[in-house]
Amino acid sequence: MNHPQTNGKIERFYGTGGQKLPLFDYDVDVIVEWYNRVKPHMSLSLTGRRYDTPHEGFWYKLSEEWILQYTNPWFWEVDS
């Protein structure tokens, strides 16, 4: 976390979260859910069609190797 861009993103999250607290009845869990899954971020236009949420950006950038690593073992079993 010693990267200036990362620090700026965290500061931005705290600023937006603090500003929106009254709108979400001071429920931090709801704010985090809204910030990551509902609110589009201008810095995340990964697909070129629109702005993405951090949740969408995470899955868009995740490599196939990482996804397959977390599949259930039964998926890879061969029937004999």
CA distance 9 to 49: 23
- Single pTM value for the model: 0.59
Q: CA-CA distances (angstroms) from residue 17 to 14, 63, 71, 73, 75?
A: 5, 30, 34, 39, 40
Per-residue pLDDT tens digits of the chain, which is 80 residues long: 566 666 787 888 888 888 999 999 999 999 999 988 988 877 777 666 678 888 888 888 888 777 777 776 776 677 76
